[in-house]
Structure 1
């Protein structure tokens, strides 16, 4: 009888015990040169930083590459999720926990060098069409600035350049200057084919974003590890590996 009662107590304690928390998962997207796949391997400047951080913290979290919109949805819906690289904006500020900055970057529009030059914000806003990715920070930012000429049909960066090259659009926007250099090389676009329009449409710093349920101790460990990389010079060395992807 005593054994039976003990077994009942043990069973009850197991039933009411909280379920084990989901393991942390890292999500990212194709956005060179910060996070992208090459020869079926995930690489990029921010990828290298994240791996270096985990080397210091002892973490070995799974990393999944997803389409841009899906990665954002996972960050907003799955517990214990980490996303990189993400621009830290006022709207996003209260939604996540942040580790960074890793780098400060700008977004410019591009056109063919053979086209009639566009040089001002006013000219951009009155251009027949500006093509961006289907959704995300850039089209949202441009719409907030009053742009009404956006073609949000590109599903990825490579599609932006292909559309520009075949004349399906006159202006594209979506990548940093380093990203434009990377995709130009990937698509064998000859040098001087593209022209950067001298209008900075967006500038911010890239961060690692944690879902709001993430433990403060984990976020703090990552922040401390990043500062260790920065103070030791390791962060600068990682960034220099990608110096060839600048204009």
Structure 2
């Protein structure tokens, strides 16, 4: 079992960590030149509850593939919001869950695309974000990489789907619709035709980091989720804002 008391020093302090995320609303995104979202608010509140409040200056928002590789290879770094999967399980320490997630394959409404099994997708052009859980899940299901068209921005894929440059788009459902609306695309033009994965998203901590920081952050999150006599919690209050 991890133990906070097993190590000492600045590297055990949450305020010494670097956090990396992507534009993945409403979990994490830029608004008025500041990083915000429910995952960001949860992170800040959880760290404060254990006496080591994280600041926005510790958080960098950049394309997912860059953040993913950075945290895989650099000590004292944390990636969020990250879907926990069998493929990723041994790559990180995990703190969470933050919230649940549903990854789906979207098609243009009216195209009447029917997907009964994963390999049915192999005959279509599938838009995916490089190293995103959607792409990784399709590969695990046996869908060939040659069927996928990668991008680093889901708005690009939404526009390509609308313009019929791709046939399908794999991404988290809520976030895909949110992004489509941001670039003026009516989300009702798309429909889910296959559920790739249901799961939860977490804070993923580099494996070379001190396990003590993992336990601290988990403790803060658990405290945040504690309910009062009325059944409410600070955690739920944060989610309700978004």
TM-score normalised according to structure 2 size:
0.83
2:31 corresponds to which of 22, 29, 38: 38
Q: Distance in 2 between matches of 1:241 and 1:170?
A: 34
The answer for unaligned runs of 5 or more in structure 2 is: 1-9, 228-232
The answer for unaligned runs of 5 or more in structure 1 is: 1-19, 243-247
Q: Are 1:155 and 2:152 matched, yes or no?
A: yes
Q: Deviations over 1:76-124 (max 9, x none)?
A: 2221111111111223222222110111211111111121232422674
1:139 alignment counterpart: 135
1:202 corresponds to which of 197, 207, 223: 197
Q: Which moved more, 1:98-107 or 1:32-41?
A: 32-41
* Residues 224 and 69 of structure 1: CA distance in aligned 2, closer, same or farther (over 3 Å): same
Q: Which moved more, 1:141-150 or 1:94-103?
A: 141-150
2:4 alignment counterpart: none
Q: Deviations over 1:145-202 (max 9, x none)?
A: 121362233221111101011111111112x2211231132122225211121x2111
2:240 alignment counterpart: 240
Runs ≥4 in structure 1, deviation > 4 angstroms? none
Q: How does 1:199-238 map to 2 (within 5 A)?
A: 199-232=194-227, 233-238=233-238
Q: Distance in 1 between matches of 2:187 and 2:204?
A: 35
1:59 alignment counterpart: 53
Q: Distance in 1 between matches of 2:187 and 2:81?
A: 27
Q: Distance in 2 between matches of 1:210 and 1:135?
A: 17
* Residues 88 and 123 of structure 1: CA distance in aligned 2, closer, same or farther (over 3 Å): closer
Q: Are 1:189 and 2:192 matched, yes or no?
A: no
Q: Distance in 1 between matches of 2:176 and 2:54?
A: 31
Equivalences, count = 222
* Residues 221 and 191 of structure 1: CA distance in aligned 2, closer, same or farther (over 3 Å): closer
* Residues 80 and 123 of structure 1: CA distance in aligned 2, closer, same or farther (over 3 Å): closer
Q: Distance in 2 between matches of 1:236 and 1:89?
A: 25
Q: 1:55 offset after TM fit, Å?
A: 2.2
Q: Distance in 2 between matches of 1:134 and 1:212?
A: 22
* Residues 157 and 236 of structure 1: CA distance in aligned 2, closer, same or farther (over 3 Å): same
Q: Are 1:49 and 2:42 matched, yes or no?
A: yes
* Residues 146 and 213 of structure 1: CA distance in aligned 2, closer, same or farther (over 3 Å): closer
1:92 alignment counterpart: 88
- What's the secondary structure of 1:201's corresponding residue? strand
1:79 alignment counterpart: 75
Q: Is the Cα contact below 8 Å between 2:118 and 2:141 reproduced in 1? A: no
* Residues 119 and 92 of structure 1: CA distance in aligned 2, closer, same or farther (over 3 Å): closer
* Residues 218 and 67 of structure 1: CA distance in aligned 2, closer, same or farther (over 3 Å): same
